Amino acid sequence: MTLAAGDVVILKSGGHPMTVIAVEEDQADCIWTGEEGDLFRETIPTIALEVARELDEDAEEDEAEEEETEAEEVTVSVLSPA
């Protein structure tokens, strides 16, 4: 995965969205705001990060699949003999 300054990332294990401000080799400098509005900065190994928009796309795909399954279940129950 290639990261660039400005990318929004999260830890693979979860947590707050962070903004990448610099990348050097396999380390990313990230900033984020805490719950009370404090600004934090940390250098994190890139292997521990995921791009946040990829997670949003996965969630949208899962939601679309659930809606499709629900629609199929309704159709089956309407067409099935009582």
The one-character DSSP state at 6 is: T
Give the pLDDT of residue 48.
Answer: 97
Q: What is the DSSP string of 15-81?
A: ---EEEEEEETTEEEEEEE-TTS-EEEEEEEGGGEEEHHHHHHHHHHHHHHHHHHHHHHHHHHHHS-
The model carries a pTM of 0.63
pLDDT at 34 over 60: yes
Report the length, in residues, of the chain.
82
- For residue 54, the model assigns a pLDDT of 57
Report helix, strand or coil for 8.
strand
Domain boundaries, the chain: 8-77
